[in-house]
Amino acid sequence: MHNATIKSLSAELAAGKLSSVELTKHFLKRIKALNAKYNCFLTLDEEASLKQARAADQLRAAGSGRPLTGIPIAQQDSFCARGWLTTCGSRMLSNFVSPYDAHVVERLNAAGAVNLGKTNMDEFAMGSSSETSYYGPVRNPWDVNAVPGGSSGGSAAAVAARLAAGAIGTDTGGSIRQPAALSGICGLKPTYGVVSRYGMVAFASSLDQGGPMARTAEDLAVMMNVMAGFDARDSTSLEREREDYTRELGKPIEGMKIGLPKEFLAEGAAPGVVKAIEAAVAEFRRLGCETVEVSLPNMKLSVPVYYVLAPAEASSNLARYDGVRYGYRAPEYSDLADLYKKTRAQGFGEEVKRRILIGTYVLSHGYYDAYYIQAQKVRRLIARDFAEAFKRCDVIMGPTSPTTAFRIGEKAGDPVRMYLSDIYTIPANLAGLPGMSIPCGFDAKGLPVGLQIIGNYFAEAKMLNLAHQYQSATDWHMKAPPGIDLD
Ligand code: GLN
């Protein structure tokens, strides 16, 4: 049952062939047996999960089941969930039990989904490998000596290892798409403002966006129907009519135009990645799509721009962790200034401190115009490049990540090399555009490759259908990591 998609589990629950209590117990049992191997879950609360499962079974019995009712979903530990430890992968929040639910969590609860547990991640979502977590690195189910990608690596590994049917994560510069690619699953970063950031631990607020991770595009669509929607508590939440993200699934895609940015393959993607992407594009041509070359001339500036803007926003967002109101507090200190210093020195890890330092620097008097303002201008240019490209195509396709999963420790000592892992994903965050990753093959080492689909604003339903059509014609998304028992 753990190999089934959300869609088929939902049908079994609806038909009364399976109860949510059975399903939840089954996943919890697997997690208990396998989590030591992958380190993808940080917190489980069996009683809380089973309580939700029992309530879901009652809803189904009363005839008020909805697609996610009774489905166990893993939650990245950056989403506040009432009564649950919410650490964001940091020592700073190692004792923080959230008194409230994030908007996304509220919506999942209202739909009757079961919170299966909180997943491991890079500290404060800063990273591309899930190695910066205070709670130790997550391991990739395809190769336990490799990283699962990050920052939502715990969620990605959980779905890949069949420890959860679906999961939620956040994407500031690629953290849903890149781990989805490296772990061989699907992930969607929606248009900025579509999913409320209320109760999502803030990293870089103008870039952060929550989204679904699952094994099929159809499942992502079902999750989006619950997760998306206006929320007055997030000032950047968009007030627009509700969408049914499944509405285009199955519509013909003949004649759709796929833009292939010439810069994408020029930017040093590994040969195994290029080969799989070319094969995927050929499959879309077979399915009737046309391809056109487009250009994103400023793409090469996206990593430097991101590493000015994201740390700037992070340095401001993370100022709240001072050891006074909540979270970690240094056990010994002399006065208030010393309390701040020691708490922050002990509570934050190296990568987080690096970002706070960079961010504080670029925002400081004298550097603000040279770095921060300049980066904002280039951000606009990158958004304009996309606007030009979308005059000529419906969606853009290319790799999600320049490489497949790398070894644990391989890039940990070289931040710039690590930052370059997000070269293909960061542009969509800077422009606020939706992007997704779906499995499209393997490299010579047998590690999964992800195809990235970037759409224009609010093109999620169209992108999900393209992915769905591809998944109806191929079976990359059905492949399981070696050694995963599928019965
Ligand atoms: N890897 C990028 C970073 O370290 C993106 C992280 C994210 O999307 N949360 O900032």
- Residue where the block lists tokens 């109860």: 19
Ligand 1 mean position, distance from CA 122 (Å): 9
Instruction: Determine the atom of ligand 1 nearest the C-alpha atom of 422.
Output: 1
Least Cα distance to 227 among 186, 253, 257, 194 occurs for 194
Residue 151: cis peptide before it, omega within 30 degrees of 0? yes
* The ligand 1 atom nearest the CA atom of 150: 1
Looking at the domain assignment, is residue 225 inside a domain?
A: yes
Alpha carbon distance 480, 468 (integer Å): 18
* Residue in the block written with tokens 């070289």: 414
169 Cβ contact list (under 8 Å, min separation 6) = 76, 119, 121, 151, 152, 155, 156, 175, 176, 179, 187, 210, 211, 213
Q: What is the CA(110)–ligand 1 centre distance, in A?
A: 29
Domain total in the chain: 1
Q: What contacts 282, CB < 8 A, 6 or more positions away?
A: none
Ligand 1, pocket-test mutation among 77, 151, 411, most atoms within 8 A of CB: 151
CB-based contacts of 155, cutoff 8 Å, min separation 6: 40, 74, 75, 76, 119, 121, 164, 167, 168, 169, 179, 213
CA nearest 205: which of 410, 429, 48?
429
Q: What confidence score (pLDDT) does residue 417 get?
A: 85
Say how many Å lie between the CA of residue 418 and the centre of ligand 1: 10
* Cα of 149 from ligand 1 centre, angstroms: 10
Is the CB of residue 302 below 6 angstroms from any atom belonging to ligand 1?
no
How remote is the CA of residue 167 from the centroid of ligand 1, in Å? 18
Q: Is residue 245 within 8 Å of residue 221, measured between CB atoms?
A: yes
Domain that holds residue 248: 6-256
Strands 435-442 and 114-119 turn out to be unpaired
**Nearest residue by C-alpha to atom 5 in ligand 1:** 173
Ligand 1 centroid, distance to 402 Cα (angstroms): 15
Six-digit token pair at 120? 């491991």
**For 77, how many CA atoms within 13 A lie in the half-sphere containing its CB?**
36
Q: Is the CB of 126 under 6 A from ligand 1?
A: yes
* Token pair belonging to 64: 């008020």
The SS3 call for residue 461 is: helix
**C-alpha span between 91 and 249 (Å, rounded):** 43
220 close to 123: Cβ distance less than 8 angstroms: no
Can you name the residues that pair with 146 across neighbouring β-strands?
407
pLDDT of residue 265: 76
Cβ of residue 422 lying under 6 Å from some atom of ligand 1: yes
Residue 20: enclosing H or E segment and its boundaries? helix 20-38
How far, in Å, is the centroid of ligand 1 from the Cα of 428? 13
Tell the residue number behind the tokens 């399981």, with chain if given. Answer: 480
Distances (CA, A) of 355 to 133, 207, 341, 345: 15, 15, 16, 13
- Residues 415 and 89: their CA atoms lie apart, in Å, by 18
- Residue 209's SS3 state is strand
Q: Report CA-CA distances (Å) from 153 to 74, 171, 248, 261, 339.
A: 12, 11, 29, 27, 33
Please provide residue 234's backbone torsions phi and psi, each rounded to the nearest 5 degrees. -115, 115
The pLDDT of residue 267 is 65
- Judge whether 48 lies within some domain: yes
Atom of ligand 1 nearest to the CA of 174: 8
Residue 372 lies in a domain: no
For the chain (487 residues), the mean pLDDT of every run of 10, in chain order, is: 96 97 98 98 98 98 97 98 98 98 98 98 97 98 97 98 98 98 98 98 98 98 98 97 96 97 84 96 98 96 97 98 96 98 98 98 93 97 98 98 96 89 96 98 98 98 98 97 88
- Residue 117 β-bridge partners: 74
Length of the chain, in residues: 487
Which residue in this structure is represented by tokens 């056990």? 331
Residue 471, helix vs strand vs coil: helix
Residue 76 counted as domain residue: yes
CA angle, corner 203, sides to 197 and 204, nearest 5?
85
How confident is the model at residue 416, as a pLDDT? 87
Give, for ligand 1, the residue of 90, 123, 128, 303 to mutate: max count of ligand atoms closer than 8 Å to Cβ.
128
Pocket residue to mutate for ligand 1, from 131, 416, 422, most atoms within 8 A of Cβ: 422
Atom of ligand 1 nearest to the CA of 355: 10
- CATH assignment at residue 130: 3.90.1300.10
Residue 385 covered by a domain: no
Any domain includes 432: no
Q: Provide the sign of the torsion angle of the four alpha carbons 285, 224, 441, 10, taken in this order.
A: negative
Q: What is the token pair recorded at 34?
A: 């396998």
In a domain, 66, yes or no: yes
Q: Is 200 in the pocket of ligand 1 (CB under 6 A)?
A: no
What is the C-alpha separation between 323 and 124, in angstroms, rounded? 16
Domain presence at residue 155: yes
Where are the alpha helices (H) located in 140-289, listed in sequence order? 153-160, 177-183, 217-227, 262-266, 271-286
**Cα 205 to the chain's mean position, in Å?**
15
Least Cα distance to 113 among 17, 33, 48, 198 occurs for: 48
With tokens 């391809």, the residue in question is 291
Q: Does residue 123 line the site of ligand 1, with CB under 6 A?
A: no
- 3-state secondary structure string across 237-268: CCCCCCCCCCCCCCCCCCCCEEEEEHHHHHCC
Instruction: Give the Cα separation of 172 and 204 in Å (integer).
Output: 7
